[in-house]
Amino acid sequence: MDREELLTAAAAYFGRPGFHRLLAGLAAKYRSLNRLGGVVVLNDPTAEERAELEALLRRRLAPGAIRVSAREFAAALAATKFGALDPKEVLERWLGSELISNQERRRRRWRCRAMLLERLTARFPHPFCQKWLQALLAKETNIRWAPDGNVAPAFVADLELALQAISRLPDEYQRLPVFAQKVCGDPHGLDSDRDAGKLFLVALRFLRNEEAKTGPDPDPDNDRPLSSAEEVGELLYHFRLLRDDVLNFATCYGLAAYAGASELIYWRAAAAAGAPLNIPLRELVRVTAVRPLAAPARPDDLFDVYLVENSGVFSALLDAVTADRNAAAAPTGAARPLVCLHGQFKLASWALLDRLIASGAVLHYSGDFDPEGLQMAQKLLCRYPGRVRLWRMTPADYAAARPAAPLDERRLKKLAAVDHPVLAPLAKYIAARRLAAYQEGILPLLAADLACLASGVGG
C-alpha cells in the first residue's frame, strides 16, 4: 500500500464517530501550540468513544472523563498499520485541509489583506484614499473584514465602492442618494445598512478624526462609535452630504440670514410678523452668515443668541416677547434672537449654530436640570469653547424650578459623566439630591431676563 492509499485508509479509520472528538481536540491543540502537543479531555464519553479509544490505545480506560495526550496518540498511531504516517498528516487528511497554527493563519490572513491594500493604494491615488489605506496597512485603524476574516470578492467590491466614494466627495452640498447614484449606480448603494455604506462611514470617521488631530478645537467625542442616526447625519454633513434636508429643521426667531451678500428676506419677514421660523437643512446649507436683525455696530462685534432646550418653553418665551406690541409694525431690531433645540441636537441645529458662531454669536443656553439637559450643555461648551454661556443654570435656579422628579441609578450615571468644569458643580449638586427639575419651572425668570434685555436693562 503506497503512502496515498495509506492516508486514505487512515482517514477512513479515524472517520468513525468514536474518534471525532479526539481528533478535533488534537487539531485545536496544534492550532494553539503550533505543534502536536497537550492533552485532550473528553468529558462524558460515549460507549462508542470508550470502545474505539481503548482499542487504539490498547489500555483499559478508567471511568469518567478520558484524557489522551498528543504523545500517547502518536505512540498509539505508530503501533498500527498507519505507523509510517506522521500524526499531522493523518489529522490533515481527516480534516480535509492544511493544519496550521492560529498564529500562522493570522499571518497569512494579514499578508493577503496587505496585498489587497497595497493593490488598492496603487489604484486610488486620491489623498483621502491614500491616508485611509496607509492607516489600514499600518494597523493604525481598523475595519470590519468579512465575517470569516478572509478577503472575499464581495467584500473587496464593497471596499472599492467606499474608496470610489471617498475619492469623489463633493465640493458643494449634495444629497446622499444622488451622490450614491453617481458612484454606485444605485441611490441606496451607500446607505448605512449596506456593507459599502458601512465601510464608507468608517472611512469618513477616520478622516474626520485626522482633521480633529490638527484642528484648533478637537471634538472630544470623536473616538466614540457612531450610535445614532443624528451622528451619522452630522458626519455625512461634515463632508457635504445630506441624508434628509427637508424634515431635518432648526427653529429660530429674530435672526437675519445671508447667502453671500444677499439677505434672505423671509427670515426678517418672519421676525417682523412675530413668528417662529422652521428652517430645513435644505435652506440652511446655502446660508453663509446669520446675524441679529439689528446688525452690530462693527462687523467683528459679538452678539447674543438665546437657546432653550424645549419647544414648549421656546413658544412661551416667544409669546412673552411679542405680547405687548403690534408684531407687524414693531421695529424688528428689538427682537431678541431665540433658538429652540427640541430636546436634542438635530443636524439642522448644528448647521444653524455653526453659522451663528462663525458670524460672531455668543450662545446663552438654558436647559432642563436633568442628565440630558446637562449633557446638551456640555456638548455646546466643548464644541464652541469660549462662546457659550449658561443661562439660568445655577443651583439657585435649580431650586427655583422646584425639583421633584426622582433620578434612577441609570440616569445618575449619565449625570456623573458631566465633567466640564463649568457644569460639574451643578451636576454634583443635582446628583446629591437625586431629583430632576425642568425649564418650565423657571419660565417666568427666563421671560423676565429677555424683557430686561429688550428694554435695555442688562446686556
Task: Tell whether the model's pLDDT for residue 105 goes beyond 90.
Answer: no
For residue 52, what pLDDT band results from cuts at 50, 70 and 90? very high
Q: What is the pLDDT of residue 224?
A: 47
Mean residue pLDDT of the chain comes to 88
pLDDT tens for residues 374-407? 999 999 999 999 999 999 999 999 999 999 999 9
CATH code, 249-454: 3.40.1360.10
| 275, 313, 357, 386, 449 from 361: Cα distances, Å | 21, 21, 5, 11, 18
Delimit the domains of the chain by residue range.
3-100, 105-242, 249-454
Which of the residue ranges 27-36, 245-254, 280-289, 406-415 would you say has the lowest mean pLDDT? Answer: 245-254
- pTM for the model: 0.64
pLDDT tens for residues 297-318? 666 789 999 999 999 999 999 9
Q: What is the pLDDT of residue 334?
A: 54
Q: What is the pLDDT of residue 357?
A: 96
Instruction: Give me the mean pLDDT over the 235-250 stretch.
Output: 84
Bridge partners for 365 per DSSP: 307, 390
The C-alpha atoms of residue 236 and residue 351 are separated, in whole angstroms, by: 12
| 118, 135, 266 from 213: Cα distances, Å | 25, 14, 39
Q: Kindly give, in sequence order, each residue whose CB lies less than 8 Å from that of residue 12, ignoring residues fewer than 6 positions away.
A: none
Task: Tell whether the model's pLDDT for residue 218 goes beyond 50.
Answer: no
The C-alpha atoms of residue 219 and residue 345 are separated, in whole angstroms, by: 15
Beta strands 338-340 and 249-253: pairing type?
antiparallel
Instruction: Give me the mean pLDDT over the 358-371 stretch.
Output: 95
Nearest to 373 by CA among 404, 353, 344: 344
For residue 149, what pLDDT band results from cuts at 50, 70 and 90? low
Bridge partners for 303 per DSSP: 361
Q: What is the pLDDT of residue 147?
A: 55
